[in-house]
Amino acid sequence: MIWNGSARDPLWYKDAIIYEVPVKSFMDGNADGVGDFLGLSEKLDYLQDLGVTCIWLLPFFPSPLKDDGYDIADYRSIHASYGTLEDLKSFLTAAHARRLQVVIELVLNHTSDQHPWFQRARLAPPNSPERDYYVWSDTDQRYAAARTIFVDTERSNWAWDPVAQAYYWHRFFQHQPDLNYDNPAVVKEMLEILDFWLELGVDGFRLDAVPYLVEREGTNCENLPETHAIIKAVRRHIEDTATSRMLLAEANQWPADVRAYFGDSDECHMAYHFPLMPRIFMALHLEDRQPIVEIMEQTPTIPEDCQWALFLRNHDELTLEMVTDDERDYMYLAYSADPQARLNVGIRRRLAPLVGNDRRRIELLTGLLFSFPGTPVIYYGDEIGMGDNLYLGDRNGVRTPMQWTGDRNGGFSRADPARLYSPIIMDPVYGYQAVSVEAQESDTASLLYWMRNMIRLRKQFKVFGRGTMEFLQPTNQKVLAYIRRYRDDVILCAVNLSRSVQPVELDLSAFAGLVPVEMLGYTEFPPIGTAPYFLTLGPYGFYWFELQHSRS
């Protein structure tokens, strides 16, 4: 039995524009104060008009919600607050009818401690099949070389379970015990869960925390060959049972280490480029292209059918794990003057507040996101410049209700405001009365209109998702210039990272005779000759040019 995916092109993810959305935060369809699938389905027209092509849903499974749903208690059902399985099926059908693909979370590494597997395991005798679903130890000294990830809350990767009278392994919160992938029964369970969602028609899976599946003594327990073997098994299973599906690795690692998650096109189809994101912000603040160029030069080539997932912001903190100590210090100083903004090893802010609500800087960053080699991921609300709330704990400040209108609860819910799962943003700059979809839909100069146009434009050129990239080396370090190529398309992108007007001379002699046509307005510029090509870029300005053959 082969389950066909909704996309005709098996490489659909290479041209996709992904929209990341927590179900609870988007739209409340039943007035209980929590977003749900009914509400999400109501807003599919909005997403279609925005132009995104793929919806990535954060975890929506039954869960104690101690880690916003990444602590799953049942992989085959829906959290009651978000609706029913029928609601999800209706949502999937409606999304596919609009040619929107849907990606969900597959949290392989761990479950909630409330999952029946864990409850069964802790009650079962040592070395029993039930106990063997998780990683147990009589001591908390094993795997000592593995770092603690949530340094703000966890002291160790081991936690004592008084019922089992043993320590269990957890790379994240202690209420999230790691599954034991040395046990074939666990792998089998996970493949069956995969089948459940494949059959329902889900188009892709984000493999959360994928580097940590297997543990080995004497290692840092990350990126181990045994972990890659598990991913290969998952991929093989998908290839055998379904078409047009995608696996996206969440591996917050250096590019060279992430490369392994693509395998030889036999592991994940996509992986996030984590180190690029902080360097884009750093380059903007430094007004110097060097951090971006450096990390891109360290980025290995990946198989033809694989793809980087690029993002500016997401539901987590702006992670600074993949930067040097000096770079981290710089980023903290540049982007989190308020210590409240810091969490773990990162900065918990949305896009607009990070850049001081400067529209030009938001546009420039989005221009980079859309023109770099990979598939862009937009975090819900960033298309209207939503703000955050630093006074909510953990990362909840960037997970507030979507701001639809200037009405009660921002149009998110008809519930009593006190029932909302989270307070809505209400400050005078980013509050729902100042920033909302409704207001921006009535303003053709709004960020929302601009985003729609940019998404529309990007979708017209496969070169952005599929093409190669070469950096130019102008002497002005404040200008980032690069060439994207795919088939007959040659695109020149020039970006001014600074707050002031910048001149730049580009060596385009390799393209002598071609005519740059500015892509947004389809305006012809003077033809390229052998002399350096001179451009002037406004503050935080950027140009995209198609290099066309002369009409004559």
Partner 1 sequence: MASIGSNSSIQEAEVNVTHADIVVAIAAYNDVRTVGAVARAVRDGLAKFFGSHEARILLADAGSTDGTLEAARCAVGDMGLIELTYQRPAAMSGVLYHGHPGRAEALRAIVQTAHRLNAKACALVDASLHSAAPAWIERLIAPVLTDGFDYVSPYYVRHAHEGLITKGIVYPMFRALYGVRLRQPAAQEFGCSARLVSHYLEQNFWDRDQTSVGVDLWLAVAAATGGFGLCEAALGVRQPASRETPADLSTTLAQIVGALFMDLEDRVDVWQRTRGSAAVPIVGAGPEIGPDGASLNLERLIESFRLGYRELREIWTWVLPPRTIVDLRKLSEAPLERFQFDDRLWAGIIYDFAFGYNLRVMPPDHLLRSLTPLYTGWMASFILQVRNATSSQVEERVEQVCLAFEAQKRYLISRWRWPERLR
- Kindly list the residues in this chain that would bind partner 1 in the complex (CB under 8 A): 8, 49, 444, 449, 452-453, 456-457, 460-462, 488-489, 519-523, 551
Token code pair at residue 1? 């039995």
Question: CB 453 → partner 1: shortest distance, Å?
Answer: 5
- Give all strands of the β-sheet with 489-496 in edge-to-edge order: 468-471, 479-486, 489-496, 542-549, 514-518, 523-524
Task: Using alpha carbons, select from 242, 247, 231, 111 the residue that is nearest to residue 179.
Answer: 111
Report the residue number, 489 or 507, with the smaller CB distance to partner 1: 489
Contact 535, 503 (CB under 8 A): yes
Report the residue number, 49 or 138, with the smaller CB distance to partner 1: 49
DSSP line for 429-444: TTSTTTS-HHHHHT-T
Contact 240, 139 (CB under 8 A): no
User: Tokens 């990979």 sit at which residue?
Assistant: 374
Query: 359-371 and 447-459 helices cross at what angle (nearest 10)?
Result: 20
Report the residue number, 131 or 245, with the smaller CB distance to partner 1: 245
Question: CB 253 → partner 1: shortest distance, Å?
Answer: 34
For residues 335 and 61, give the distance between their C-alpha atoms in angstroms, rounded to a whole number.
Answer: 34
Report the residue number, 68 or 363, with the smaller CB distance to partner 1: 363
Contact 322, 274 (CB under 8 A): yes
For residues 194 and 237, give the distance between their C-alpha atoms in angstroms, rounded to a whole number.
Answer: 9
Q: Which of 15, 36, 71, 208 is catalytic?
A: 208
- Residue 250 known to be catalytic: yes
Question: CB 460 → partner 1: shortest distance, Å?
Answer: 5
Contact 26, 380 (CB under 8 A): yes
For residues 264 and 453, give the distance between their C-alpha atoms in angstroms, rounded to a whole number.
Answer: 36
For residues 17 and 376, give the distance between their C-alpha atoms in angstroms, rounded to a whole number.
Answer: 6
- Can you tell me whether residue 274 is helix, strand or coil? coil
Token code pair at residue 463? 């070169």
Report the residue number, 461 or 533, with the smaller CB distance to partner 1: 461
Q: In a 10 Å sphere around its CB, with 0-12 CB exposed, 13-18 middle and 19+ buried, how is residue 225 labelled? A: exposed
CA 500-504-506 angle, to 5 degrees, is 155
Report the residue number, 65 or 457, with the smaller CB distance to partner 1: 457
Report the residue number, 153 or 453, with the smaller CB distance to partner 1: 453
Task: Using alpha carbons, select from 263, 108, 121 the residue that is nearest to residue 191.
Answer: 108
Question: CB 455 → partner 1: shortest distance, Å?
Answer: 11
Question: CB 334 → partner 1: shortest distance, Å?
Answer: 32
Contact 388, 381 (CB under 8 A): no
Report the residue number, 332 or 450, with the smaller CB distance to partner 1: 450
Question: CB 88 → partner 1: shortest distance, Å?
Answer: 22
Contact 477, 289 (CB under 8 A): yes
The residue type found at 185 is A
- Can you tell me whether residue 85 is helix, strand or coil? helix
Q: Which of 250, 317, 388, 394 is catalytic?
A: 250
Q: Which residues are catalytic?
A: 208, 250
